[in-house]
Each structure stands twice: as structure tokens, then as C-alpha cells.
Amino acid sequence: MTDPAVIETSPSAGTPDPIHNCPECSLWLPPMTLACPECHTIVYADYLRGLGQLAMSQEQERAWPQARETWQHMLQWLPAGEQSQKVAAHLATIDERIQAGEQRTATWKKRLGPLAPVAFFLLKAKTFLFALLKFKFLLSFFAFFGVYWALFGWKFGLGFAVSILIHEFGHYIAARRRGLKADLPVFLPGLGAYVRWYSMGISLDTLSSIALAGPFAGLLAAAACAGIYFYTKVEFWSALAHAGAWLNLINLVPVLGLDGAQATHALNRMQRGLILAAAILFFASLHEGVFLFIAAGMAWRLFTGTAPESPSSATMIRYTLLLFMLGALMGLMPETMRRF
């Protein structure tokens, strides 16, 4: 699944969706209007807020060139005025920092002479080792595996952990294919996992595609387990297939930080109502209770949040197909998970 608390901004990811009406007074706006002429609201305030948060985090990490790029990008979406002047002044401060750093590097190169390349290599190696110590992927994966090993034995624990790993890599690969920065998955033992990726400025259709890429990868993993079960008749594989399909359906419930919530942003209220009806029909035909949770979540989404001006039909089709295929896969499997 993806966690909206860690979805951040990348200026290289593109531009925000065009806004044609003032967020405050709903006045119609010509293309590329940055401030409402009626109420003077900054039109792309939410987008700018995300950029500002990213720039501050980059400064905390002392990534000054990246921070400068982000602040510079903000100027394109800020109307002329006091705020744009403050950003321009802050950019000048960052330029001074970058220049001072370059001067220090040149000074040390001069002092160290022929030893300078060795010294800078050791400095980079230290930074790399420090990053390895902070690297959570492998450590969190083995901790996650250990929890399910203790609960269900090593075979099911490993298979279940790998199934979730495949789900998370669905998000990771989908984000990287679109040129977005993404971190490797982090596992939360006993709870789940998430992929941190940087997405502000992309379209809602792209956002939903990346969100649904996890359940699609999870579907493929569960289908592979089902195929092995039908070939071998070993019930261990049916347990993995059933558990994997159930878990990915849970991720399609449109609440909190689950994948379904991210995908629902690209749907208008009519499309949400259609998926609600589809979930009820799938429950009636497949008798899987998880569809009631999806239906309840989608009913809640009918009356909460905003709906896009240009909804995504592709997202509705992908969402509905995932519901059907995961539900059908659960229905084909005997419920043998408790044995492992």
C-alpha cells in the first residue's frame, strides 16, 4: 500500500492539474491564472504548500542544489508580490551557501594536494555506510517475516512476506517507470508495508495507476500460487493464494492510507456509486465479506472529499476488474489458511 503521509513533492514530476475555478470564490479563471482577480486567493496554494514542505526537508538534509531547484520551481506558480520576493531572497541565501561550500571544497583540495581524491572518497564511503545503517528495507522485511514465521511457521511466513513484497514492488516499479523518485519498501511487522514515493504535480490518473499497481502485482502473485496449487494439489499454495487475494482486496477499501483511497481521488461521485454497486453485486455472487467493507468505504466516499473535474474512466475499469479477479480467485480457493 502507499501511505499518503509520506507522499511528497518532486518538481521534476510535472505540473499540477489546471485549476479553472478559484478554490475560494469559484470564479472562472483563464488558463495559468496564479491569483484570483476577485478575492486575490493564490490559486495553486496546495501545490505550493507541498513544494515548500519538500524544499524544507531538502534543506534539513543539506541537499542545497535540490532545495534551490524546488524553490526556483515555486516561483513559476507564485503570483508577483511579497511571497515571491521572500522566495527570491531565500534563493539568494541558498546560492551563497552553495558558493561557500564550493569554496571550502576548493580550499581543502588545495591543502590536501594529491591526497584530496582519497580523502573525498573516504568521505563518500562514510556517507554510504551511514545510509546503509539507516536502510530499513532488509531489516524491516526480515522482522516482518519473523512475526509471521512465529504465527504460522516459516513456510507460510516466508510466502506471505514475499507476497506483500511483490505487492509493494508493484508500487515501486510503477513510480520509477514514470520517472518519479521512490524508496524501497518499508515493512511494519504485524501491520503491513508501504513504499515512499514523491508524487506532487502528477495527474490524478497517474496517481491512481501507481496506487492500483500494488494490488495488480499482488493479484499476479496470488494467481501464481493458485496455479501451483491446481498443479500440485498442495493446500499450502491455496492458503497463500487465498490470503494474498484477501489482503489485496482489503487494500482496495477506500479509507485511510490504503490503495483504494488513493485511487478513489480520480473518480467522480457517479463512478464511486457504480463501484459501490459492483462491490455489492460481487458480495452477492461470491459471498466474500470483504466486499462489504469496500462497499461501505465507497458509500462513505460518496459524501466526503472532493471529486475531480475530469474523472478517470480507466481508473474505474481497473478498480472494478481488480475487485472481480481478486474475488473470483478467493472463491476458487478452499479456505485452508488456518492450517498453516
84 touches 78 (CB < 8 A):
yes
Closest CA to 260 of 318, 179, 331: 318
Q: What own/partner pairs with CB < 8 Å and gap ≥ 24 does 273-282 have?
A: 273/298, 273/302, 274/316, 274/320, 275/316, 275/319, 275/320, 275/323, 276/302, 278/320, 278/323, 278/324, 279/323, 282/323, 282/324, 282/327
Cα separation, 180 vs 186, in Å, equals 18
Tens-digit pLDDT profile for residues 83-105: 888 888 888 888 887 777 677 66
Tens-digit pLDDT profile for residues 100-145: 767 766 665 565 566 556 555 445 544 444 454 456 667 777 777 7
Cα separation, 91 vs 70, in Å, equals 10
SS3 192: strand
User: Which residues of the chain fall below pLDDT 50?
Assistant: 3-13, 121-122, 125-130, 132-133, 337-340
